[in-house]
Structure 1
């Protein structure tokens, strides 16, 4: 009897130690529609809208819009891959929750007074040959129109454009509290990324929204880093001017702003000759909505 019990115990232990059978992940969902609506199930390869268990791939010339008026304001997926010449636009009020967000080739994401939460944001242009960046990135990149992005890790590769929108003096934010989720973005705010770690490179661009005009003395913490950061934006070392407004207010960059490792812009009056040599800051005409 004892030996039977012992054999049963050994068998149970052996079964416990066997590796669990690996589950085959679902195929990623591809956008195959023409009306651009994220919430239209007929626009997706599986005939249904992506869920929190799905990976999403946008490629070729896909044009996709997440509009809270057509579905939910809170959109949950697993991983997002935007490549080729695809573009994803999130309209005001959207919160996109995901794990990893990868943008490559000439892919583009435009966040309009919305927010996104995830583990990694990895942005890199296509490569041509041995480590050579693809010449010209077309319309690719990330455009943050006064909107918050909360990320655990941020990796920006060389030559990839990231545009931060300035629409006021308040940092855009996404808060969780007893009252639920609060999204502060749009008019009166400027675009931010909140991250634990950051590896910086890429082409930094600025834009002005909602008629906002920075004044000398204004400061904008565009990347709030809680742990550590490495690198710099291409062509913009510490203390260098990033661009000038039409009334000759220059925006100067610091990588030791905030609590010592944040990326901060400071505005000050700049002589006309310096402004002529700097990239123009784009003015975006948008309604308050």
Structure 2
């Protein structure tokens, strides 16, 4: 892990807290690097026995996190780092870090309340809050209290007030990491949308304008797969030749998801 990220400064305190208390809450803003840095730091620091299970709220995030950590180790996914999501599993007997989605974690605990073979559980992006994540934390905490006092628990959040979660975990230590601040400029459309214009056409017009007025890549947020596909079709032939449109949603094949996330080797990416 050669490139420094903001969360790196908090890792020694986190490892020390887990060594003392066996539980911790980590507050780190978006972009701090907690999703990929923390599991590998726990692995390299010998902070747990057996496997580490990390909860991610979405399939795309679970795949991407596992792929990035495996890449940092110079290994393919499924060796020391793997993932388990609905309909797809890439793990092996050598797997030490397993990234799972919410429903998978709940089923794991229900089928094996003691989580045999699991030495640590990380709840990532806990600020997003969901019934499955809350249930998973409650079940893991109950397992730690009744069956597995050695089970390490880490709750990681970007924006959630850590005090209530720390209190739930019997006054767990709270570790904070600073983030990086980037200047954000808000630009408004010069004219209101045309009457009757569909969302997809309005977004395509905004993307075309953004590509013309800026440099680098363009990240576009849309409600779902249908809107993403329709906007991509509307952008066909409207962008410069060196600008590629790369859809990204959970149902895409993994190779296409990786291609969308990977830095562009040449040209620009939308």
- More strand, by proportion: 1
Smaller-chain TM-score bracket? under 0.3
Computing the radius of gyration over CA atoms, which structure comes out larger, 1 or 2?
A: 1
Q: Name the TM-score, length of structure 2 as normaliser.
A: 0.24
More relative contact order in 1 or in 2 (CA 8 Å, sep 6+)?
Answer: 2
